[in-house]
Structure 1
C-alpha cells in the first residue's frame, strides 16, 4: 500500500510554524539561485539583441572589441567595394563606417564618473539596426555638433538628457534626440556623426564597419575572402556573435559568483531541512509504528517522508521564485569587462530558469530529507510502538 499524498500535506500543515521557517530558508536559497540565473540571462539577452544576425562586423584582426580596433580609410574603401555587400536604392553599399570612443560622464545619482561609449555612425546606420527607434527629439544633422543618446544613458548621466549639452572632444555637443534600442547594449551609448567625431578625437581611422550582405548565406565565403585578402588585416564576424562574445567574461564572473553563493546557502538550507525532518521523525515514532502495523512497507514509509521533504522544498522554491520574479522590474548597470564601459541590463525570467530553479529546490529537499526518511523506514515496528 502507498501512503496518500494528502496525508503528507496534512503533516506539513500540522507543523505550520516549523514548515514556514524551513520553507523560508529554502526560499532564500532559491531566490539567490534564480536571481543569478536571471541576471546572467538578462546580460546575454542584452548583448545578443545588440546585434543583428544578418549584419556583419569588420574589425582589426585580433581585436575583441571596437575600442581596440582601427581600420584605415584605404582598407575601409577596399572592404566597401566587395560585391557581396547589399546596395541601397541609390546603388551605394549598405554599410556604416563607425568610430567608437570611451568618454567619462558624471552619474546623476551618485555624482561619480563612469565610462560611456560614443559611437560615430554613418547616416544609414539606423536602417542596419531596426531595433533602434527614436523616441524623442530628432536625428542629429550631418556636419553638426549634435548627438542622440540612449534612453538608459539619458536617465543615468548628467548632460545626456534631450536639450542638454555634453562636453568632449574639445567642444560641446547638443543632445537633440533620445532613442530606444530594445534593451540592447546600444541603449548604453551616445551616437553622433562619424565624420564629426573623428576629427574631434583627432582620429584618422575608423574603429569598425557594419554591413549587410546581399545574401546572408554568403557569409562564410565573404568572411574567407575578407580575412584572406592580402591588402586587409580584418576579421569578419556576424554582428550578433560579435557582441555576444563580449559578454562572456562578465557572464562567467556572474555565474561563478552565483554558483559559490548558491552552494554555500544550499548547504545551510539542506541542513535545516534535515533537522526539521529528523524532528518530525522523532515526534512521530508511534505514528510510524502504527503505519507499519497496518501493513505499510518500509519503502512506503521512506517515500512518504521523502515526499514530505520534497513538498516542503517545492513550497520554499515557489516562494523564492515568486520573490525573484519581482526583480524583473529592476534595472542594473555594471562595467563591461571587455570594453570597460557602462552597460545597463535587467533580470530576465524564462521558462528554462523556472524549471532549473524548481529542480534545484527538489534536489535540496531530496538530499535534506533522505537520511531522516531512511531512519523512519528502518525503524522496527515493536520499538516504534513501545516508544509510543
Structure 2
C-alpha cells in the first residue's frame, strides 16, 4: 500500500510554522539561484541581439574590441570593393565605416563618472541595424555637431537627454534624438556622424567596418578573401558572433560567483530541511508505528517522508522563483570587461531557467530529506509503538 499524497500535505499543514520557516530558507536559496541564471541570460541576450547575423564586422587582426581596432582609409577602400558586399538601390555598397571612442560622463544625481561608448557611423549605419529605432527627436545631420543617444544612456547620464548638450572632443554636441535598440548593447551608446567625430578625436583611421553581404552563404568565402589579402590586416566576423563573444568574460564571472553563492546557501538550506524532517520523525514515532502496524511497508514510509521533503522544497522553490520573476522589471548596469564601458541589461526569465530552478529545488529536497526518511523507514513496529 502507498501512503496518499494528501496525507503528506496535511502533515506539512499541521506544522505550519516550521514548514513556513524551512520553506522561506529554501525560497531564499532558489531566489539567488534563479536570479543568477536570469542575470546571465539577460547579459547573453543583450549582447547577442546587439548584432545582426547577416551583418559582418571587420576589425584589425588580433583586436578583441572595436576600441582596440584601427582600419586605415586605404584598407577600408580595398575591403569596400569586394564583390560579395550587397548593394543598395543606388548601387552603393551596404556598409558603414565606423569609429568607436570611450568618453567619461557623470551619472544623473551623482558625481560618479562612468565610461560610455561614442560611435561614429556612416550614412547606412542605421539601415544595417534594423533593431535600432528613433523614439524621440530626429536623426543627426551629416556634417553637424549633433548626436543621438540610446534610451538607457539618456536616462542615466547628465547631458544625454534630448535637447541637452555634451562636451567632448573639444566641441559641444547637441542631443537631437533618442533611439531604442531593443534592449541590445547599442542602448548603452551615443551615435554621431563618423566624419565629424574622427577629426574631433584626432583619429585618422576607422575603428571597424560593418557591412551586409549579398547572401549569407557568401560569408566563408568573403572571410577567406579578407583575411588572406596581403594588403589587409583584418579579421572578418559575423556581427552577432562578435558581440556575443564580448559577453563571455563577464558571463563567466557572473556564473562562477552565482554558483559559489548558490552552493553555500544551498548547503545551509539542506541542513535546515534535514533538521526539520528529523524533528518531524521524532515527533511522529507513534504515527510511524501505527502505519507499520496497519500494513504499510518500509518503502512506503520512506517514500512518504521523502515526498514530504520534496513537496516542501517545491513550495519553497515556487515562492523563490515567483520573487525572482519580479526582477524582470528592473534594469542592471555593469562594466563590460572587454570595452571597459558601461553596459545596461535586464534580468530575463526563460522556460529553461524555470525548469532548472525547480529541479535544483527538488534536488535540495531529496538530499535534505533522504536521511530522515531512511530513519523513519528503519523503525521497528514494536519499538515505535512502545516509544509512543
Report if TM-score (shorter chain) is over 0.5: yes
Match in the other structure for 1:16:
16
Backbone CA RMSD of aligned residues: 0.5
- How far apart, in 2, do the equivalents of 1:233 and 1:282 lie? 74
- How far apart, in 1, do the equivalents of 2:225 and 2:302 lie? 66
- How far apart, in 1, do the equivalents of 2:241 and 2:162 lie? 32
Match in the other structure for 1:115:
115
1:132-167 CA distances to partner (integer Å, 9 max, x unpaired)? Answer: 000000000000000000000000000000000000
- CA shift for structure 1 position 34: 0.3
1:151-207 CA distances to partner (integer Å, 9 max, x unpaired)? Answer: 000000000000000000001000000000000000000000000000000000000
* SS in structure 1 of the partner of residue 263 of structure 2: helix
1:90 maps onto 2:86 in alignment: no
Match in the other structure for 1:163:
163
- How far apart, in 2, do the equivalents of 1:269 and 1:243 lie? 38
Match in the other structure for 1:243:
243
Structure 1 residue ranges (4+ consecutive) displaced by more than 4 angstroms after TM superposition: none
Match in the other structure for 2:265:
265
- How far apart, in 2, do the equivalents of 1:110 and 1:237 lie? 39
- CA shift for structure 1 position 352: 0.3
1:67 maps onto 2:67 in alignment: yes
- How far apart, in 1, do the equivalents of 2:361 and 2:124 lie? 50
Match in the other structure for 2:210:
210
Q: State how many pairs are aligned.
A: 388
- How far apart, in 2, do the equivalents of 1:59 and 1:50 lie? 16
1:383 maps onto 2:383 in alignment: yes
1:298 maps onto 2:301 in alignment: no
* SS in structure 1 of the partner of residue 127 of structure 2: helix
Match in the other structure for 1:252:
252
Match in the other structure for 2:136:
136
Stretches of structure 2 that go unaligned for 5 or more consecutive residues are none
Match in the other structure for 1:185:
185
- How far apart, in 1, do the equivalents of 2:330 and 2:65 lie? 28
Normalising by structure 1, report the TM-score. 1.00
Match in the other structure for 1:145:
145
- CA shift for structure 1 position 110: 2.3
Normalising by structure 2, report the TM-score. 1.00
- CA shift for structure 1 position 111: 1.9
- How far apart, in 2, do the equivalents of 1:238 and 1:250 lie? 20
1:199-225 CA distances to partner (integer Å, 9 max, x unpaired)? Answer: 000000000000000001111111111
Match in the other structure for 2:48:
48
**What pairs with 1:360-371 in structure 2 (closer than 5 Å)?**
360-371=360-371
Match in the other structure for 1:198:
198
* SS in structure 1 of the partner of residue 175 of structure 2: strand
Match in the other structure for 2:287:
287
Match in the other structure for 1:81:
81
1:274 maps onto 2:274 in alignment: yes
Match in the other structure for 1:320:
320
1:64-91 CA distances to partner (integer Å, 9 max, x unpaired)? Answer: 1000000000000000000000000111
1:99-152 CA distances to partner (integer Å, 9 max, x unpaired)? Answer: 000000000032211000000000111110000000000000000000000000
- How far apart, in 2, do the equivalents of 1:216 and 1:127 lie? 17
Stretches of structure 1 that go unaligned for 5 or more consecutive residues are none
